[in-house]
Amino acid sequence: MTGRDSRDHVLSAREEPAGSGRRPNPVTSRRSALVVALVLPFLLAGCGGDETPVARDPAPTTQPAATPTWPDCGSHSQSSIDYVAGARGEDSVEKALARYLDEGTHAVHVPPEEHRADRWDIVTDDNTIVREVSVVDGGHGWLVDGVEECSG
């Protein structure tokens, strides 16, 4: 609806003179309700607690629920492993990790973080990290491409 105010300029349907006494436009009200209905779940989702575990074992086991931690060591050494094109890897992540598992240790998956790919912590039964191993699917199987250990 178009009208004129005292300054004699044309008003759009959204502009109304002060105190015009018009009822709200039902289309605008429905549109506003739709926007609120679409946005509200996202806003509320941000208010909840994070129930995603920091680290998970690839296969459900009876591992302690505590997050693995590094022992007190002076420094860490990291190895990055490169492979030739077409290198043959293992059929599964578990087989690729097998040579890095010592007796009394198990692998705990650590999901990716900003600027870090996912990786596997090799931990003792008391959740002390022995080493951290990253694997990659090289196209011909799973290959270990990085190892981090305490060195001091």
| Residue 149 identity (one-letter amino acid) | E
Give the residue-averaged pLDDT of 5-13.
Answer: 42
Please give the Cα distance from 13 to 25 (Å, whole number). 10
Q: Is 112 helix (H, G, I), strand (E, B) or coil?
A: coil
Quick check: 84 and 145 in contact, CB under 8 A?
Answer: no
The DSSP string of 40-84 is HHHHHHTTS---S-S-B-SS-----SSPPB----S-EEEEE----
Q: Is 40 helix (H, G, I), strand (E, B) or coil?
A: helix
pLDDT at 104: 94
Non-local (6+) Cβ contacts of 69 within 8 A are 127, 128, 129
Please give the Cα distance from 83 to 99 (Å, whole number). 17
Quick check: 22 and 16 in contact, CB under 8 A?
Answer: yes
What average pLDDT does the structure give for the chain? Answer: 74
Per the listing, tokens 């196209």 go with 139
Non-local (6+) Cβ contacts of 71 within 8 A are 128, 129, 150
Q: Percent of the chain scored above 70 by pLDDT?
A: 57
Write phi, then psi, for 26 (nearest 5 degrees). -65, -30
Top pLDDT among 17 and 126 is at 126
When pLDDT is cut at 50, 70 and 90, the band that residue 53 belongs to is: very low
pLDDT at 116: 84
pTM over 0.85: no
